[in-house]
A and B are shown apart, each in its own frame.
Chain A
Amino acid sequence: MSATARREFLADATLSRAGDWLADTLAAAFGVRGEPPSAQRSVWLDSVDWRLLRAGLVLRQTGRSPRRELMLESVTGEPIMAEPVSNTWPSIIDASPSSALRTRLAATLGVRALLAVAEVDVRRTHARLVDGENKTVVYATIEDPRQLQPQPALLPVRITLTAVRGYERELKRAADLLCSVSGIEPAVGSTRETAFAAAGRPAGEYSTKVDVQLDASAPAARSVATILLRWLDIVEANLAGCSADIDTEYLHDIRIAGRQTRTLLKSLGDVLPPGIAERFAGEWRWLSTLTTPTRDLDVVLLGLAGRSDAFDISGLSGLEPLRNDLARQRRTEFRRLRTGLASPRLTALLRDWRTALTEIDPAAAPEVRTDDVAVHRLGRAHRRVVKNATMITSESSAEAVHDLRKRCKELRYLLEAFASLYDEKARRRVVKDLKYLQDQLGDVQDGHVHRSMLTAFVHSTAGGPAPAATVLAVGALIDRLDTRRHRAHAELAGALRRVTDAKIVARLSLRTEVAA
């Protein structure tokens, strides 16, 4: 059976929602056979960063407690699977009872929680348009959606006309009649997209990147302020989710934005008007210190839950006491973090920082172009990486590895900040090489940190001695960490070559082409 022809329209607010005008309009050419309306509540769910939508999936909860159902569909509306649900939202899908749908969702969502993006009640009326033989020629569906969450709103009434096969001419006639009514427009987007937009969450719009287009010839102070404001936006956007502990990634994104801010202040603070970097550097350091313990515990707990690759837990049992102990520590640390996030100190930091960046006067800053600064600072950051890298050997201390890792991050963050000035392909290549090196360094350095944490647990007597099975499992974990650390050390040389290669310098010197 071939695809059926279909036309969709939206009625603006000037038209009555009762829909009598619709029957009157269509009655000029058709018999209209209406059916009693039905109502359906839909809650669309996705992670804050739209992981499902980006994977071409739409998740919708229908019905009301206790008979709610989760329906997974493709973006084009084809059903994939459905099952009853009892979760409240937000919720980490991994915490739900095991099922085919849960497995499918968890694979796409990873560590991110599902949130209710929009909750809408739709009153739906079906009608048949019939010809002189009382034969159905066109189906009409009138949807009257009312958004309940995140805020009440009346969404436009949507009219969908679908031709019965072979009656496309009648569809056109019905569509022409509708178009003759003032206030009826061809629909753009689906009810879902309209609801997302009304919820202030346009579908798919989310980024934790500095997606700003810089003007190469603009004063550097203005460009740097633009980049820093973007990072500030990201911190603020993630504060509520972090305080509500929806999932671990809100904190992670805050930390990345904070680290980017600190790096830019350190590397580019001198292009801002005097005093700004000095005034705020300490406060951003404070925020970093505030968030570190919870994040470190998050990383370990995710690893122990098999939801990150921090640990190889395959075949190990008896780790529950360790998980419980770390979860208890995490609860304590998170309380401290939440207090800090709600503190007047953070409120003042974010407010004053925004004011300072918004009010920057390039005339009061050093007179340098953005592209000049980008090339100079990226070159300097790369030289530092090379200098530190050449000192690394298989015997290097954790401190030396940590220093190199910081230099790499600095270079990578600068590359991300000035991304719009560089050829995308060349920049990605450099970032890929840097990321590979950072991963190796991370395995070496995080191995040290995680080892210390695990050792501290084994030696801790606070909760009484750990069961023998747990001590053995933790011992095995430490062994695996050591193996991984040694392997990463062994692979460092190759990774170092990739970022100390002269070609990287060439790739970072594309400014003239860009400027031209």
Chain B
Amino acid sequence: MRILATYNIKGGVGKTSTAVNLAYLAARGGARTLLWDLDPQAAATYVFRIRPRVKGGGKRVIRGSRPLEGAIKGTDFVNLDLLPADFSYRHMDLMLDAARKPTRQLGRVLEPLADDYDVVIMDCPPSMSLVSENVLRACDTVLVPLIPTTLSVRTLDQLTNFVADSNGHRPTMLGFFSMVDRRKRLHREIMQTLSAQRHDLAATDIPALSVIEQMAFHRAPVPVFAPHSVATQRYEALAAETLLAGP
């Protein structure tokens, strides 16, 4: 089971869009995929038309007193399941803090699913908290969407330093440019400069396209309602680059 997370301290950078589309493409490629919506805003859950409520209560699931398995919902797509968000996740830091090893709790509750899924993608809330520390400890790869601005790129540095300073498990950090507007000179220059300087950036970028915003209207991943769009092609390229496609 390979665990990935889409994470950024900032909100509105394309985490959920990336998580939803990559999860869909992984499943379409034959991988048994689970998307875990950890964000109490429940945007990924909404896209898949699933009620944002964890059966048995989010608290019990996070604490491990109820198996995660019972909270999983099937989506309308083959191979793709979802662990819905729950409004109680706004207090997830407190829930995790009550656990015996607070920074490892999410990884621990995922362990029983190791044989059931090939890929797990965690869509994380925007914050730097106990939740993010758990995610960083649990996953193999962290995908960091970056809007090509100077400040956004600092985020990747901060995260990388945080991971480097932590003990034990260190996931691979992979940034990618998100919501790119090539009409903007700043976007073009930052992308050109950083791509040449850094090795922790994906070659694929995701443009700022209205079709991606339409996901919330269609309540489906982009490849479902716009299979031939540029957005679909970019997400397919990103999926291929992050080794998601295929079983």
Contact = CB atoms under 8 A, between A and B. Distances in A.
B53 to A, nearest CB: 11
Contacts of A167: 73-74
Interface stretch (B43-51, B102-110, B133-141, B161-169): B43-51
Secondary structure of the A side of the interface? loop
A165 B55 CA distance: 12
B49 A165 contact: no
Nearest to B77: A136
A165 B50 contact: no
Nearest to A166: B73
B48 A165 contact: no
B87 interface: no
B55 A166 contact: yes
A135 B49 contact: yes
A18 interface: no
A317 interface: no
Given A1-B32, A1-B81, A1-B117, A165 B51 contact: no
Secondary structure of the B side of the interface? loop
Interface string A139-172: 0000000000000000000000000111100000
A482 to B, nearest CB: 58
Interface string B18-60: 0000000000000010000000000000001111000100000
Interface in B65-99: 69, 71-76, 79, 81
Nearest to A4: B74
B76 A165 contact: no
B116 interface: yes
Given A1-B116, A2-B116, A165-B81, A133 B73 contact: no
Nearest to B34: A1
A1 to B, nearest CB: 5
A134 B49 contact: yes
A166 B49 contact: no
Nearest to A128: B76
Interface string A237-275: 000000000000000000000000000000000000000
Contacts of A1: 32, 79, 81, 116-117
Given A1-B79, A128-B76, 12 more contacts: A1-B117, A133-B49, A133-B50, A133-B219, A134-B49, A134-B219, A135-B48, A135-B50, A165-B74, A165-B81, A166-B71, A167-B73
12 contacts: A1-B79, A1-B81, A1-B116, A2-B116, A128-B76, A133-B49, A134-B49, A135-B48, A135-B49, A165-B74, A165-B81, A166-B72
Interface of B: 32, 48-51, 55, 69, 71-76, 79, 81, 116-117, 219
Interface of A: 1-2, 4, 128, 133-136, 164-167
